[in-house]
Amino acid sequence: MTRSCSAVGCSTRDTVLSRERGLSFHHVYL
């Protein structure tokens, strides 16, 4: 899952995936 890539480096790629999946909470989780 994207949670594994919660690093600051994979944050850019995670944001795109989370946004398309509607996981806006992921951004607040950080």
Tokens of 4: 């594994």
18 or 1: whose pLDDT is higher?
18
Could you state, in order of their start, the residue ranges of all structural domains in the chain? Answer: 1-30
User: If you average pLDDT over residues 3-11, what whole number do you get?
Assistant: 54
The pTM assigned to this predicted structure is 0.25
Q: Are 13 and 5 in contact (CB under 8 A)?
A: yes
pLDDT at 1: 44
pLDDT at 13: 62
Predicted confidence (pLDDT) at residue 6 exceeds the cutoff of 60: no
DSSP string for the chain? -GGGG-SSSSHHHHHHHHHHHT-HHHHHH-
